[in-house]
Amino acid sequence: MIKFDIETTKKEQFIDITSKVQDLVKKSKIKDGLCLVYVPHTTCSIIINENADSNICEDIIKALSTIIPSGKWEHDKIDNNASAHIKSAMIGCSQIIPIEDNKLTLGRWQAIMLAEFDGPRTRNVIISYQA
């Protein structure tokens, strides 16, 4: 298991971590297997989606905010971040990506992104492999 930190800079944002994860896979020397990318947090997620057009990330954030608006949930009475918890629960805290020939098997337009919903913060990312 390998861990690294990501510093987020906005309340909500997607940060492409594909190259960092791919570098770790390459160093692992695992030829074929699985790569688990996981965040041990309840207000951020790991998502796989397009990275060629940053508008997609902004569109996803806007869509989630339309579906899950801030300020109307019971948990908001405690620390005003219920929508971040709900978004994270819907998207999920992990993704599994196949490894083939020591490379992540992602589609042409796919990227692994940390989805921040309650930043800015320091987020931990955990990578685990199964050969």
User: So where are the chain's domains?
Assistant: 2-130
**Whole-number Å distance between alpha carbons of 113 and 24:** 15
Query: Taken in order 67, 60, 112, 6, is the CA torsion positive or negative?
Result: negative
pLDDT at 23: 97
- 50 contacts 109 by C-beta, under 8 angstroms: yes
Structure tokens given for 122: 């320091």
**Whole-number Å distance between alpha carbons of 117 and 59:** 14
- Count of H helices and E strands in the chain? 4, 8
The parts of the chain modelled with pLDDT lower than 50 are none
To which CATH superfamily is domain 2-130 assigned? Answer: YjbQ-like (2.60.120.460)
pLDDT at 90: 97
pLDDT at 2: 97
